[in-house]
Chains A and B, each alone.
Chain A
C-alpha cells in the first residue's frame, strides 16, 4: 500500500512535467495545425541556458530564469519568422518536417556549446528535503515542480479564457478565415503561440534539468509528452494535462511492477503501448474536439 501510494505521488510529479510539455505542443497545434516536434528540443535548450546563467555566469536564480525565458521567446520568434512563416499555405507536412529538423538543430546547438555533457544545477533551485506525512515522504523538489507546472498551465488556460487576446487566439484555433474576417491578425497570433509554447517548454526543461540533470537526453521526455498529447486529444489543454498525469503514473507503475519482469528499459515503451490501445478505441484521443457537422 505504501509503495502504491508512493508510486502514484511520484507518477503525478513526473506526469506534471509531461503535462506541461504536452501543453506546449497543444498551444502550437491549436493555432497553426502544426505538430511542433521542435518543442522536445526546446527542453534541452531551456535546461542548458539556465545552467549557463546559473552555474557558468553565477547569476541569481530569478535573473537566470528570466534570461532563459527571454532566450526561449527569442528562439520562438526566430523559428516562427524564418521557418514557419514562409511555409504558410504549403502542404501541412512541410512545416511539420521542418520542426523535426529544428529539433535536431537544437540537439546540435547543445552539443556545440555545451558538448552534450550531463550537468547539474549545483544542488537544486527548488528546496530540497521532504515532507513526512504519515508513512509517506514527499520530496519537496517533486511537489514544488508539480505545483509550478499546474500553476503555469492554470495561468495559460485563464489567459485564453479571460483576455481579449486570448479570445482572439481561440477564434484562430477554430478557423483562420473567420479570424481574418473579424480583423484578427492571424500571423501575430501564430507569433504569440510560438512564444507561449517555447516559454512553457523552457520552464519544462528547467524543471526536468533540476530533477534528471541537464543533458541531451531530456528530449526523450518530449517524446513521452507526444504520447500524452495524442492520448488527450491534440486540441485540448485539459486533455493534455490529464493524459500527461496519467502517463506519468502509468510509467512509474510499469517501472515498479513490471521492471523486474522485463529486461532493460522496455518499461519506457509502456506509455506508447497504452497510447496505441487508447487510439484504437478513441481515434480523436480522449478529449479531442468532436467535429460539429450539420446534416
Chain B
C-alpha cells in the first residue's frame, strides 16, 4: 500500500510544484493519473521514486508511506530496493548496450538467487515477444515502441511491487498503444504488480485503470473509480473530448463558449 499524504514538492526550494497531493495505491491495483501538461503528474511519480532528489527537488511537506514506512527523502536506489520502480518518461536506457544487457541491468536489483535471471528474461520475452528477436540489437537503434517495451520489461526484471509508468503511449502508433495497453493490464493481473499509470491518453488510461485521479496545477482535483470518472461531465469534456450527449465533437459545430469546470483547480 502506497500512500501520499498532503505532499508538497518544491524545486530548488523556490518553485512550488505540488501543493498538497493525496493519493493512495493498493497492493495490486492499477490506478491512473490524468492531467494536462505541467499539472505535476511526472513530479508526483518522481517524488515517489526519489528521482526528485537528482533534480534538486524535495518533498517539503506531507509524507509518502509505503507499507507504513516513510520513504520520501530517501535516495532513488534505496526506494528502488523496496520494489518501487519508475519507468521514466522518454524511454531512458543504456543506449550502447544490447537489449538483453539492458534487461539484465534491470535485474541487478533483485537480491534472490542468480539463476532467477534466466527465468525472468523468459518471463519478459513472453510478455514482449518482439524483444526476443532483438536480444543482440543495440538498444539505441531500436524503434520507439521496442524501446518502450524494453524499459517496461526492464522494470519487471527487478521483481517490483509497484511500477510507476510515465506516459508509456508517448509518441507511439495507435496500434502499438493498444498492444502496450493490453500488456500493462496483463502484467497487473498476472504478476500482481500495483501500477500507477500517468497518461495524456485519457481514454486509454481510464479504460485500463480501476481508479483514477485527475490533476491540475499541482493538486488532485477529482478522483474516483474509473467508471465514475468516465461518466463525469467535466472529464468527458476536458479529457475524453466528448460533448454532454456523449458523441465525439466535430470541429464543424465547435461551441464558442467554454464549459466551466466544476472543480476547484
Contacts and interface: CB of A to CB of B under 8 A. Distances in A.
Interface of A: 164, 167-168, 170-171, 173-178, 180-186, 289, 292, 294
A27 to B, nearest CB: 16
B93 interface: yes
Interface residues of B, number: 30
Given A167-B101, A183-B77, A178 B93 contact: yes
B158 A177 contact: no
B94 A181 contact: no
Interface in B152-209: 154, 158
Given A183-B108, A184-B109, A171 B94 contact: yes
Looking at A168, A176, A183, the one whose CB has the most chain B CB atoms below 10 A away is A183
Looking at A171, A173, A185, the one whose CB has the most chain B CB atoms below 10 A away is A171
Nearest to B117: A164
Given A164-B114, A175-B93, 20 more contacts: A164-B108, A170-B101, A176-B54, A177-B54, A180-B54, A180-B75, A181-B51, A181-B80, A181-B85, A181-B86, A181-B92, A182-B80, A182-B105, A183-B76, A183-B77, A184-B105, A184-B109, A289-B96, A292-B95, A294-B144
A232 B245 CA distance: 67
Contacts of B86: 181
Interface string B68-80: 0000000111001
B154 to A, nearest CB: 7
Contact of A177 (B75, B92, B109, B138): B92
Nearest to A289: B96
A241 B104 CA distance: 28
Contacts of B241: none
25 contacts: A164-B108, A167-B101, A168-B105, A171-B97, A173-B94, A174-B93, A174-B97, A175-B94, A177-B54, A177-B88, A178-B88, A178-B92, A180-B80, A181-B80, A181-B86, A181-B88, A182-B154, A182-B158, A183-B85, A183-B108, A183-B158, A184-B105, A184-B108, A184-B109, A292-B141
